[in-house]
Amino acid sequence: MYFNETHEAFRASVRRFIDREINPYMDEWEEKSVPLHDLFKKMGELGFLGIRYDPKYGGQGLDYWYETVLLEEAGHIRGFGVSTAIAVQTNMATPAIDAFGSEYLKDKYLRGAIAGDLVAAIAVTEPDAGSDVFAIKTRAVRKGDHYLLNGSKTYITNGTQADFLTLLAKTGDDGGYHSFGLFVVPTDLPGFVVSKKLDKLGLRSSDTAELFFDNVAVPVENLIGDEGEGFIYQMKQFQHERFTLLPGVHVCVQDMIEMTVDYLKQRIVFGKPLITKQVLRHRLAGWLMKNECLKQLTYHIVRMKMDGRDVTREISMGKLFAGQLIAEVASGCLQMFGGMGFMNETLISRYFRDSRIMSIGAGADEVMYEIIARLEGF
């Protein structure tokens, strides 16, 4: 209904890449993080990192349905850490450069990210500013032909391997939401330090870092768009980030249900396979119903995006629903696996750990509820 033969051929190529270049190494990468430069170079050569971006900068110039195919197939990766790292590169750190950046920034950084030559990270969150983005304290002060950057960022995915950051900083005190700048910050500038790699409950195949900036001189030409508009640019970029969760979540939920059904068919308890228990079959059926709702909401959002319509309300609903659903299913499936589900050797335990971030990152559930309520006028 939504995908033609060309979409499906693209899907098959992405699936082959994941089966050959990612999933066989997931256990190893859970222990020591995915080597992003190697992985992204391979993906860049296949055109996977610039689906919607202008061919002028190495992109494919394709539509949102192709992007959805890529994100859906990423849901088959056996751990959310790698899919998150990829999404940062394609949908979290680069959309603002594409939409508002100068020709110089697009030619150097967007082109480099699309080719897989440069690893990107998005640097917004700080120790005292997570969901409350307005509270960030990192400052960029104009001094001649540079901005002097001082402050810190935390929970930064790809942070220890990034070649550049798309970073939000305060540039003034009196402009309210117009007191911020969004910058491209190369990580080889003096004064930039990776304070530490963070040890996480889940997403262990991705590196997450705490970053520190001490009088980092960022060239004026690395400002994205206009000074004072950075907050607005980042709010728009967040919509790309939140959408990336939806296609992969509904695919991963389906995978979790299928692997659980397979286990229940084999697991004999009190002389019968567990799948014969009505309560378990009904619970699984309920999850399938909810997952179909998420899938159709995802496709509805894509149709709206294709029509150029505002999707803030629908993406907020989808992100909220996806985070809650995947946590519910991962926990419920682990329960059905019993003691085996509690073992790290069982994939469901990784999904259980990884899924918890979905209701926290990219805007916590509470923020999504508030956005929806305000858009509804109450």
Give the C-alpha distances (Å, rounded to integers) separating 212 from 70, 156, 240, 339, 352: 33, 11, 26, 42, 31
Coil, strand, or helix at residue 162? coil
Amino acid identity at 94: T
Query: In angstroms, rounded to a whole number, what is the distance separating the alpha carbons of residues 261 and 344?
Result: 19
Please state whether 13 falls in left (phi above 0), alpha (psi between -120 and 50) or beta. Answer: alpha
Which one of the listed residues 8, 241, 328, 345 is annotated catalytic?
241
Per-residue three-class SS string for 182-216: EEEEECCCCCEEEEEECCCCCCCCCCEEEEEEEEE
Alpha-carbon torsion angle 57, 168, 314, 368, nearest 10:
160
Instruction: Label the pairing between strands 164-170 and 120-123.
Output: parallel
∠ CA 138-209-191, nearest 5°, is 50
- H/E stretch holding 139: strand 139-143
Active site (annotated) includes residue 8:
no
- The residues pairing with 211 across neighbouring beta strands, listed in sequence order, are 153, 194
Which residues are CB-contacts of 291 (< 8 A; sequence separation ≥ 6)? Answer: 250, 253, 254, 257, 325, 329
The answer to whether 50 and 67 are in contact (CB under 8 A) is no
Query: In angstroms, rounded to a whole number, what is the distance separating the alpha carbons of residues 127 and 374?
Result: 27
Alpha helices in the chain (DSSP H): 5-17, 26-32, 36-45, 64-74, 80-87, 95-100, 103-105, 111-115, 230-266, 278-306, 312-337, 347-355, 365-375
Catalytic residues: 241
